[in-house]
Every structure is written in structure tokens, then in C-alpha cells.
Amino acid sequence: MYIFWTAIPFRRFYSEEPELIPLELRRPPPFKPPPDGGWGWVIVLSSFLYNVLVLGYHNSFGVYLISLLKEFGETSSKTAWVGSISYGFIMVCGPLSGKLTVRYGAREISILGSLIIMISTVCSSYAPNLGTLFFTHGFLTGVGSSFAFTPGMIMVSQYFTTKRSLATGIVMSGGAAGALVQTRLHLFLIDVLGWRQSLRVFSGLMIICVITGFTYLPLNPKGYTRSVVDNLKNSPLKKFVVDLGLWKDKVFLIWVAANGLCKFGFFIPYVHLVKHAIQLGIPVHSATNIMLFLGLTSMISRIIFGRICDSERINRLYINQASVFGVGLLYILIPLLHSYGSLVAFGLFLGIADAGNYILLPVLTFDLMGAEKMPVAWGFMLTVNAVSCLGPPFAGWVNDMTGSYNLGFVVAGALNVAACFVLALIPIAKSSTRQTCKSIMNVTIDHSTQEITQWADNLPPITEEEPPVSKYVNYFSTTTFRSPEITESRPEVYRGDDAETAGPAVVTGL
């Protein structure tokens, strides 16, 4: 029975089956390095499909905005909050979904998120007013989308190293591909069945995500520690080595500020561009074609940028700057675009310009912060990016006040241009950054139990009679950690009599 149960891919969180191997006799399995391919490409395909359905649904929300305005008769700014709240919870719940993924596994959390989306979408189809949609679509669908989206990004980073940008580009292109397909699909369903029945059909399609979630096989078992640094994080001595100076890092502060500026207007085209085109006298079916061209070029460009940015000759930061500046320039030009052809061109170039910034967000966060700080830095980045949920309501409020979305696009464009100049400060900050905080402590690492204890003041050295199970090390940690490969960082080890005379160990790879 036990063997049969362990063969099932999706196991329950809790099992009462007896353990075959006593806990004290277990040894951690050998660490598996990222294969840079193999089953990783299956992970990429599954995560791509998740983005097609989940992010594509949010990116095509603009077609529902018109139906909701007619159904409930509310203002554009208030109605836009339905989608904006959902966008915000995707970002805000990023750290939570990341921790749950580490605790329970990517497979379980992604499937749980898919089920939440299915239930919340059906509930949204019966909503009698906008207040109900704020909860069902805004909160529930947003949380479920975060649970479904985040595990895929974590899995891709675990399976790829040298091809990480390409794999990330393919996964991120799923959101654009979803906008390309779902904009036309939802418009057709709304015309034929109505917006309520359209939501129920989409809920049925989410079963695809439930099935693909089973492919999220962990590369290494949960709880496996890769290095001394990881062991220290799980030890009682964590308080001695946890780096609380992330927000004192000038590079991180600049990176966060720049992304907060450029992400403010990220969702404005996805929510309001169709309505903006209709206000200019363009038929609704032609207006939705603009989103199709935007999704097409965005999907292709994200894959191309991902392949290009894997090259060592390319400066990813400069690519990101050019992308942010291009998006800002296009937003500023919106008041000059009045014809269908000009808006199609806008969609085409916006898909190209936005691709660089979109796929490089996780990659550059890893490059700038290093492997040790990446988890907490990425969580903060997702939280800051929640500012993007404010853009659509702001543009809707501008439209209510002025009768046009032009000013909303211009303000978002100006913030993107400002973000471009803020990003230019990162090389300056990197050159002036120094190791400002150091801590040295003596610890004992027991490799039989993976436990770490601090040296006592009168700790005797290891003698020849004692089994060399434990190793005494001087662990040296720094606030500014820039090594891209945390597994190469190892403290020097001293045994026996050498431990009495040895000086502080130096951690290589810093």
C-alpha cells in the first residue's frame, strides 16, 4: 500500500503511513544541479500554459469592462477597480505564494490556485453588483492567480542557469499569447452567450491548469540544504547571520524605485485601450484587434529578448532601460494617435518595447541582488509592483473628469521616462557599494545531523581519538553579497590542532 501511494504524483499534504526508514538513520540525497534542459522544458511548457490561461485572462479584461459599464451603469474609474484589485492581489500575495510553494511544493500550490480561480470565476458570473465582483473577481481570483502563477517562475529558476533568460522569456510570453487568444475568445463568447456565461466557460477551461500542474516535479526534495549558508538559515543561530540591511542597499532601493515608477501604468492599455479606441469612433471589433496585435508582438518579442539576454555580451540593464524608455515614449504619443492604423502601430511597438522590461524583472533582480538575497528581494519586488493596480483606476478617473484617457496615458509615460533615468543610477551605486556590515562567528557543523551550534568559549579542539564527524569553522558573512552561484561559497575548514592556531576563515566567491 505504501509503495502504491508513493507512486501517485499528487500526494496529500499529510500522511499517516509509517515511515520505513528511521529519522536518525536518514541521509539527505545528493544534490541535483539545474539540468538546463531535460524535464525543465516540460516545466517551461506547463508554466507557459498557466500564463496563457491565467495572465491572458487578466490581460484581456478590457473586453469585459464595456459589458460591466453597461450592466451596472457605474463610472469608468469605479468599474476599473474590478480588474485592478485582482492585479494588485497577484503581486501582493507573491511572497505568500512563494513561501507556500517552498513549504508544500509547486505542484500543490499551483493546482490549489487553479481551483480557486475556477470557483471564484463561477461566483463572479452570478454577481448582482460591483461590490460582489470586488470580492469574487478582485480578491479571490487575484489570490488564486498568484498561487497559480508564482510556482512556475520558481520552478523555472530551479531548472535553468545559463538558459534562464530564454526559459523566462518563453514563460512570460504566455501572458501575451493569452491576451492574443482570449481577447477574441471572450469577445465572441460575450456576443453569443453574454458576459456571465462567458465567465463560466472560462472556468471550465481552467481544468487545463489543474492537469498541467502535475508536471511540476521538484528537482530536489523539500528541506534539502545546499550549502553552509542554507544550513545557517535553518539553524537556531539564524539571528546571528540574517542580513537585515537589504533596504540599506542603494542598488536595491534604486531598483525598487525605478520599477515602482514604470509599473504604475503597466495595465492601463490592457484595461482601457479598447474603450479609448471606441471613444475615437473605432468599431468595437476593430478596437479589439489592437489588443491582438499587442499580444502577438509581445509574445514573439519576449522569446527573442529572452534568447538575446542570455548572451554574455549583452548588458541586461541597458536593455531594460531602453525598454522602459520606449514604453514611456509610446504612452506620451497617445494624444497624437486618432486613427485605427495609428493605434494598431501603437500596439505593435508597445508589445516590442515592453518585452525587455517584463522578462528581465526576475532575471535582473537575481543579477543585482545575488542568490542569497534573491528570495526576500523578489518578494519585496512583487509587493512594490502592486502599484500597477492603481494605474487603471487613475486612467478611468481621468476619463470621467476630462472625457478622454489621454492624460492618464501621458502621466504613465512620464513616469516611465523618469524610471529610465533612475535606472541610470544603478551602475554608479554599484561602483560605490562596499561591504558595510560584517559578522564573524565560530560554529560547529555536524554533517551527520546537519545541525549547527555556536562555539563555546572553552571548546576544546578535536583530538585524534574523536571521530571527525564535526568540523569547526569560522563563518564570515557580509551584507553585500553579489555571488551568482551560492553553491560555490564555502568557508575554509580547520581540523584538529590546526583549529587552535587558524585565523578567521575566508568565504570564497564573494
Q: How confident is the model at residue 173 (pLDDT cuts 50, 70, 90)?
A: confident
Place of cell 504604475: 264
- Neighbour count for residue 448 (Cβ, 10 Å): 10
User: Among 127-131, 228-232, 390-394, 412-416, whose mean pLDDT is lowest?
Assistant: 228-232
Identify the three-state secondary structure at position 71: helix
Mean pLDDT over 387-402 rounds to 87
Task: Determine phi and psi for 120, rounding to 5 degrees.
Answer: -65, -35
Q: How far apart are CA 390 and CA 383, in angstroms?
A: 13
Question: Where in 345-496 does DSSP place strands (E)?
Answer: 438-446, 451-454, 470-478, 493-494
Does residue 13 have a pLDDT over 60?
Answer: no
Does residue 248 have a pLDDT over 90?
Answer: no
Superfamily of the domain at 245-455: MFS general substrate transporter like domains (1.20.1250.20)
Q: How far is CA 29 from the centre of its chain?
A: 29
Q: How far apart are CA 495 and CA 502, in angstroms?
A: 10
Does residue 236 have a pLDDT over 70?
Answer: no
pLDDT per position as a tens digit, 135-150: 999 899 999 998 998 8
Mean pLDDT of the chain: 75
Report the percentage of the chain scoring pLDDT > 90: 20
Place of cell 560605490: 432
pLDDT per position as a tens digit, 20-70: 555 445 555 555 667 777 888 899 899 999 989 998 898 888 788 888 888
The amino acid at 197: Q
> Is the pTM above the cut of 0.75?
no
What is the domain partition of the chain in residue ranges? 33-222, 245-455
Q: Beta partners for 478?
A: 438
Q: Do domains 33-222 and 245-455 have the same CATH topology?
A: yes
Identify the three-state secondary structure at position 132: helix
CATH of 33-222, one of 3.90.190.20, 1.10.10.2840, 1.20.1250.20, 3.40.50.1580: 1.20.1250.20
Query: Beta 451-454 vs 493-494: how paired, if at all?
Result: unpaired
Highest mean pLDDT among 108-112, 183-187, 281-285, 302-306: 108-112
Contacts of 149 (CB under 8 A, 6+ apart): 50, 51, 54, 55, 90, 97, 113
Contacts of 199 (CB under 8 A, 6+ apart): 121, 122, 124, 125
What is the rounded end-to-end Cα distance, in angstroms, of the chain? 49
Q: How confident is the model at residue 351 (pLDDT cuts 50, 70, 90)?
A: confident
